[in-house]
A and B are shown apart, each in its own frame.
Chain A
Amino acid sequence: MSASVGYNFGFMDEYAKKEIRRTVLKAVAIPGYQVPYSSREMPMGRGFGTGGLQLTLSLIGVGDNLKVIDQGSDDSVNAVNLRSFIEMTCPGIDTTTSVDEANLIQSRHRIPEKPLRDDQVIVMQVPYPDPLVIVEPSEDRRKIQHGEGNYSKLLVKLYEDIVQFDEITISHRYPTCINNHYVLDPSPIPRWDVPKMHQSRALILFGAGREKKIYAVPPYSKAEPLVFDDVPFRIEDFRDEHSVRRPCARCGCTSSFLDEFIDSENGEKVYQCSDSDWCDEQLAQQGEC
């Protein structure tokens, strides 16, 4: 593409990238705290991962190996779009679909099934950075509540849920407390992925481009979903009507988050691994034995 001619490595100018790296340092230093930064406009829409993209572009360098996923898949339209933009503006980097090979992973809505290592960084794209926004529209007041660790309004919401539905109805974006103080929005990952943040070996960075916030779960941090002592946090349930765990229709795995869809040929419900790299790896292992 001729349009790329004249663009700086990583698209943004160096000052902008430096500013983002400084913000990352602050975010790591104050786990879970949403650090404001002056988010730049990216050539894709706000909401398409511009926050994550700015983090990736600021952190990536020649020799890094990048994996980009959306909904668990490396080949979904948005992942492809982001990856080709990063490849175009960052000559000299490598890209991969393998979690093992990547040292930088940008993701939307999923954390890979395979546990990450301490030499990896995962960047999550965030639409709504503040978990308090559902109970308090004013950012000014939210900042005070965060500062004082006062999450009672959010807990009341959980209480009201249990009263009404006998169940906490938060499906994704489950508010999670980091190192006993700040509660963060883990981005729209399913509840399935929330426990992966706890004592994660990899640094988890969150970038909200439109809302202009960066926050982090540093390696080996506590990450505890907000719950009551006597009402446990529950991940998605993939058991069928006989309480048997559904397997992935493709690789047979019974321990991964599943996508549900209707087979266009026979109209039946099909379940498959949402994490495509994981699914491929399971299949490959079966081929070996």
Chain B
Amino acid sequence: MGYVAIKGGGKAIEAAESLLDFQRAEQGADALPLDTDSIEHQLRNLTSRVISEGGLYHPKLAALAIKQCMGDSLEAAFTLRAYRSTRPRLLETAIHNSSGMRVTRRISAAFKDIPGGQMLGATTDYYLRLLRMNLLDESPEQFQKVASNWFKDMPKDAVPETFPKVVDALRAEGLLPPVNRDPKSDAFDITRDPLVFPVPRSAALATMARAEQGGLLTIAYSNMRGYGDVHPTVAELRVGYLPVFLPHPITGEPIEIGEVLMTECEVVAMYESSDEGSKPVFTLGYGACFGHNEVKAISMAILDRALQKGAMDGPQNPSEDAEFVLLHIDGIDSMGFCTHYKMPHYVTFQSDMDRLRTTQSKRQSGDQA
């Protein structure tokens, strides 16, 4: 008789690992491994998601994580996030103004015509969700031609690279409150400080920017459907590359070190009647995340607005409760905890049985008496 069932764990883990690796390669002897460049570009939306939820802008490593996790976005984001724990934080960027974004898409639902114009860009919004059967056996030649043809027809300097922001126009008109920026208050770094409620708005925004897309959407959807009273209008949604600046190590002058693909969304919601007697204004919800992920940015903007309302008037719905929202949307936390229930719980279950048997026997002797 073996000692206990849980013995021999080491060998089991090793075997599980090699079985997992076999699954990755089981397609057969003549199959080629996925190359990470293809993942980064052809699975760009998945890469976006992993970068955003992993909280580390590193498309190459994100593609690697996707490859090794066989496309599981939660696992891939998790792996990237764990890698992040090994890297020190050396410098902080200054606050970036997103009007400097090299825009690939920007739309506004609020105005027909916006300064700089609408730019539809690459979107599935009006795309018919029909399976393109011809892609089943797409040849490399056909595939390569798609890109070369597109560049061929492209006029140089067709569109400007940067656009003014819609909310700036609303602000200039006095429809939105001025930016309330306390130069002394640094942005909250959720990787260095724990959330102790109530938390500043920057902490909430940072938490949502790393949130699992599905979780964020679910809570935001509850708000849109009626468990909340935000009736948002998308003032502007933009996707593009934001240049990142760091202070020069010697001069302190900001220098551009690269750019990150980002999605940014600003929703405007019905005005609050402020009891200050001042002019009523619209309120703004802000969402932004790494990568191209519009559903996430919009969900985040709606929740930002909902949380601001909850902080002001007290939460009336789950989506307005900062503790409820911020502690339940992290994919790495929630999937880890869900998974951990598969671990042995023999000792606690033994303890549970002891309590149940004791109360059962007490009940029984009570019934007989």
Residues of chain A whose beta carbon lies under 8 Å from any beta carbon of chain B: 7-8, 11-16, 19, 36-48, 50, 70-73, 75-81, 84, 109-110, 127, 138-140, 165-167, 169-173, 188-192, 210, 212-213, 234, 236-237, 250, 257-261, 263, 265, 270, 272, 274, 276, 279
Contact = CB atoms under 8 A, between A and B. Distances in A.
A43 B82 contact: yes
B82 A259 contact: no
B10 interface: yes
B359 interface: yes
Contact of A76 (B9, B82, B196): B9
28 contacts: A7-B86, A11-B85, A11-B86, A16-B88, A40-B191, A41-B81, A45-B78, A45-B335, A47-B337, A70-B343, A70-B344, A71-B344, A71-B346, A75-B9, A76-B344, A77-B344, A80-B10, A110-B347, A165-B362, A165-B363, A173-B348, A188-B347, A210-B336, A212-B194, A236-B354, A258-B350, A259-B347, A260-B353
B79 interface: yes
Q: How large is the interface on B (under 10, 10 to 19, 20 to 34, 35 or more residues)?
A: 35 or more
A45 B88 contact: no
Given A77-B12, A210-B336, A259-B4, A190 B347 contact: yes
A172 B9 contact: no
A40 B87 CA distance: 11
A54 to B, nearest CB: 9
A-side interface mostly: loop
Given A76-B6, A139-B197, 19 more contacts: A12-B85, A41-B84, A46-B332, A46-B336, A70-B344, A71-B344, A75-B9, A77-B12, A80-B10, A109-B347, A127-B340, A140-B198, A165-B359, A167-B358, A171-B348, A191-B351, A210-B333, A236-B354, A259-B346
A11 B86 CA distance: 6
B161 interface: no
B23 to A, nearest CB: 19
A210 B337 contact: yes
B190 A38 contact: yes
Interface of B: 1, 3-10, 12-13, 78-79, 81-82, 84-89, 190-198, 323, 332-341, 343-348, 350-355, 358-359, 362-363, 366
Given A166-B359, A166-B362, A172 B352 contact: yes
A261 B4 CA distance: 8
B-side interface mostly: helix
A81 B89 contact: no
A84 B10 contact: yes
Contacts of A212: 194-195
A170 B323 CA distance: 26
Contact of B6 (A8, A75, A140): A75
A117 B330 CA distance: 39
Contacts of A260: 350, 353
A165 B358 CA distance: 9
Nearest to B365: A166
Contact of A12 (B10, B86, B343, B352): B86
B10 A257 contact: no
B323 A140 contact: yes
Highest count of chain B CB atoms <10 Å: which of A11, A16, A79, A265: A16
Nearest to B196: A36
Contacts of A11: 85-86
Given A12-B85, A16-B85, A165-B362, A73 B7 contact: yes
Highest count of chain A CB atoms <10 Å: which of B79, B88, B334: B88
Given A38-B193, A41-B82, A167-B355, A77 B3 contact: no
B338 to A, nearest CB: 8
Nearest to B315: A138
